[in-house]
Amino acid sequence: MPLEPLFAALEQNITDSLNVERLAETGHLSRSQLYREFYSVTGHSVKEYVRKRRLSKALAMIKHTDMPLRKIAKECGFSSEQALCKSVKAVLNQTPKEYRASGDEYYFPACEDQQDHVVTITTETIPPTLCLRYYDSCLKGIENRALAWLFAARPDYNSRIFGRRGAQQGSKLCYELHIEAESADQPAVSSTFAKISCPDIEDEINAAWDYLYNNWLKTSMFTQAEQPWFEEYIHANGHVKRLQLYLPVQKRQGFHKIQLCQCDEMQFLIAHSYGKNAEKSASKKAMDFLAANHPRLAQSARQFYVSTAQDQRPGLRLVRGDGCACGVALQSPLKLPPDCGVEIITQLAGEYAMLEGDCCGDSGAYEAVLAAWIGSMGLTPATAPFSVYEADSSFDKQNIRVKIYWKIEK
């Protein structure tokens, strides 16, 4: 059920006394439907969501105005200055004065109803199951072969089927099927899950997982929990109709951390590519050039440039083309031969809004959060955003950080 009008109404009246009945009328919902639908989309109660949005607004005013705390509390819907101070301390473990003096911005973005993918938040229990492990040397299509193996052995099976990747055994890859059976050997798993439904088509399944991990999770109010993930196969008569993907999540404790910082001039050696797999192709061009002409630089590179935003429209709506620029940061000048397929670009010194996050397959998810923050602050971007991935010598994914830079006009 679309909740766009409801979110818009909340944003327009975020500091007013919360009137659940009026909010339900705005969304053409009953009170019980409002609670259910709102939690399904945001994972928050209406009251909790409003509290976090009010605090985000108050934190911006604390950081960027000289307004007294008493007035900020009143304008942001807090009952008193003491209530505001208590909320800031509980969330950030800082006083408002300490936060104002710090370099970080804490931002809780407004939620938007999903348009292309419907993600729901639900607390569910995966029942006790019997784990059947299927091994194969080929990863592509291993899920379907595992299901065919199950249905060949038990053609009359019509209970629930869950699947997930298992541990590799030698050169053999594993896919686990978890089925309901009296001889269950796996305990029940209870968690809050982000769920998304998709057709039983491999590209569609991969796209749904990519969306959950690289788009929705990065901009949502959640982080991934430690419980296992699952794919549930909705089937009848030995034929799979659809899949439900279960990603275990927990509420994000803090806010997205953003900085307004003065940056020195930055130079990058980059290559461009267009069409399918543009980022991979552009990255390969840049690294192949360095490996052939500057091998030491190729080996020592730890900062990697990515930009896919081609232009901007009013309202900070990004125009993301089918092209991509990728490369590495340069610490010293470099001369290029003509027609070498790469170029050196300069990002000018100045004030930048910068959001730092963990490794993200699509930095556009973080760009959306940063764009929303820039808009909420009334700032004007001077250029399109770009990303810098920073790795240590191990290139362990857990240690890779991404910083999104967006130059701000004075």
Q: Same structural domain for residues 263 and 246?
A: no
Q: Same structural domain for residues 238 and 343?
A: no
Domain holding 341, by residue range, is 257-407
Task: Look at residue 360 in the predicted model and tell me its pLDDT.
Answer: 57
**pLDDT tens-digit profile of 19-56?**
888 888 877 888 888 888 888 777 788 888 888 889 98
Determine, yes or no, domain membership for 166.
yes
Please state, in angstroms and rounded to a whole number, the distance separating the CA atoms of residues 140 and 203: 11
Q: Same structural domain for residues 349 and 393?
A: yes
Question: What is the CATH classification number for the domain harbouring 65?
Answer: 1.10.10.60
Task: Look at residue 114 in the predicted model and tell me its pLDDT.
Answer: 52
Q: Same structural domain for residues 85 and 131?
A: no
Question: What is the CATH classification number for the domain harbouring 393?
Answer: 3.20.80.10
Determine, yes or no, domain membership for 115.
no
Q: What is the pTM of this model?
A: 0.67
Domain boundary among 83, 107, 131: 107
Task: Look at residue 318 in the predicted model and tell me its pLDDT.
Answer: 44
Q: Same structural domain for residues 323 and 367?
A: yes
Q: Same structural domain for residues 61 and 87?
A: yes
All residue ranges of the chain with pLDDT < 70 are 1-2, 112-117, 253-254, 309-322, 359-362, 397-398
Determine, yes or no, domain membership for 14.
yes
Determine, yes or no, domain membership for 114.
no
Domain boundary among 211, 229, 251: 251
Determine, yes or no, domain membership for 311.
yes
Task: Look at residue 315 in the predicted model and tell me its pLDDT.
Answer: 44
Q: Same structural domain for residues 284 and 357?
A: yes
Q: Same structural domain for residues 202 and 291?
A: no
Q: Same structural domain for residues 278 and 262?
A: yes
Q: Same structural domain for residues 314 and 384?
A: yes
Determine, yes or no, domain membership for 59.
yes
Q: Same structural domain for residues 245 and 269?
A: no
Q: Same structural domain for residues 266 and 391?
A: yes
Determine, yes or no, domain membership for 113.
no
Total domains in the chain come to 3
Determine, yes or no, domain membership for 315.
yes
Domain boundary among 107, 139, 154: 107
